[in-house]
Amino acid sequence: MLKEWLKSVIKLLAFFFLLLALWLVYQEIEKIGMAQIWLYMKSTPIWILGLAFVFVVADYIAYSGYDLLALKYIGKKVPLSAVIQTAMVSFSITNTTGHAYIAGGSIRYLLYSKKGLSELDVLKIIAFESLTFLLGMACIFNLSLISTSLFHLTRIPSEMNWFYLGSFLVSLFFVCYWFFIVKPKRKLTFNNITITAPTKRMTLYQLFIGSVDMLATSLVFYTLLRYHLDVNFFHVVSIFLLAQLIGISTQVPGGLGVFEGMFLYLFVHTPSEKAPILAALITFRIMYYFVPLCLSGLFFIISSIWHKMRHILSFD
């Protein structure tokens, strides 16, 4: 009963944050005018869009590393082609809709069950990948924030409390995770399910894959923004990742509105910056979320039809 009540509260909060974020972003768009934002979007050259899309493709390829490492952790073997297909489809859906355990888990189970994996295996994969994601975010966020602070780069964020809080939380997670890794008894038991911590070597692989993911995602947005504004890479990355973390934490699908609103709040210092930043944010949302979702959905439909046709033909 308590769990159901808690789930309902979380859903209501997520819906509230979604409405609030969309309203705030709408207010900013109304002040600037969609026509001005559209001018910035149209003025982005094809080669910039192409370069940004290269980073999108690189990031979605890197997603396969999440699944490959997770499969190695649980001791299961799946053909590489099936891993790449499953990773790309499930991540494109999870990135847009959120709820990794529901949306991503359902797709993974649907595809991996054909390869002999159980529901428990899929849950372990998702939990392992969540840790990999957080490790990569903690690493790149802190490195970018340290680089921004130590080298006294221009346009240091005025709302540093947000960054110190974010840095403290991700650093605390990072330290606790490593403490769990190095201690003698590296096992946790919960509801008769025993979780064994990855080895130190595997944790380093997690750091690498998660960091590549964070860098590739950041480069997609930075490429789009850098054409219109002279901004520092480390400064953009630190704000970008913090806004992403806040967006994910609200349980809003894909951080829609929350990510954009937080980035505007933390980054913008002058009104003239809002139009190009909103143009970059909207273009990023389309290229990184909606385009892969449509492509993976189309691929999934065609693949399903093809498998059914093969089954019918082989039956005949």
What pLDDT was estimated at residue 218?
92
Q: Is 158 helix (H, G, I), strand (E, B) or coil?
A: coil
The encoded tokens of residue 47 equal 């080669």
Residue ranges of domains in the chain:
17-308
Global pTM reads 0.81
Question: What's the average model confidence in pLDDT over 244-273?
Answer: 76
Distance CA 106, CA 139 (A): 29
The encoded tokens of residue 287 equal 């290229």
User: Does 162 have pLDDT greater than 50?
Assistant: yes
Question: What's the average model confidence in pLDDT over 238-258?
Answer: 77
- One-character DSSP codes across 192-229: TEEEEPPPHHHHHHHHHHHHHHHHHHHHHHHHHHHTTS
Distance CA 71, CA 209 (A): 14
The encoded tokens of residue 39 equal 């001018």
Cα maximum dimension of the chain: 71
Provide the phi-psi class of 238: left if phi over 0, else alpha when psi is between -120 and 50, else beta: alpha
Confidence of residue 193 (pLDDT cuts 50, 70, 90): low
User: Does 53 have pLDDT greater than 90?
Assistant: yes
User: Helix H segments across the chain?
Assistant: 2-32, 34-43, 46-74, 80-97, 105-112, 119-150, 160-182, 200-226, 233-249, 258-267, 274-285, 291-315
Sign of the CA dihedral running 80, 83, 89, 91: negative
Digit-coded pLDDT (tens) for 197-236: 777 788 888 889 999 999 999 999 999 998 888 888 888 8
What pLDDT was estimated at residue 269?
67
- One-character DSSP codes across 4-57: HHHHHHHHHHHHHHHHHHHHHHHHHHHHH-HHHHHHHHHHS-HHHHHHHHHHHH
Q: Distance between the two ends of the chain, CA-based, in angstroms?
A: 51
What pLDDT was estimated at residue 120?
81
* Stronger pLDDT, 220 or 107, i.e. the higher one: 220
Question: What's the average model confidence in pLDDT over 66-92?
Answer: 84
Confidence of residue 54 (pLDDT cuts 50, 70, 90): very high
Q: 196 - beta bridge partners?
A: 187
User: Does 314 have pLDDT greater than 50?
Assistant: yes
Q: Which residues contact 138 (CB under 8 A, 6 or more apart)?
A: 170, 171, 173, 174
What pLDDT was estimated at residue 219?
94
For residue 198, count CB atoms less than 10 angstroms from its CB and return exposed for 0-12, middle for 13-18, buried for 19 or more. Answer: buried
Question: What's the average model confidence in pLDDT over 269-281?
Answer: 82
C-alpha dihedral (36, 242, 284, 229), degrees to nearest 10: 50
- Give me the long-range contacts of 69-73 (CB less than 8 A, separation at least 24): 69/128, 69/132, 69/202, 69/205, 69/206, 69/209, 70/124, 70/125, 70/128, 70/129, 70/132, 71/125, 72/202, 73/124, 73/128, 73/198, 73/202
Q: Is 239 helix (H, G, I), strand (E, B) or coil?
A: helix
Confidence of residue 100 (pLDDT cuts 50, 70, 90): low
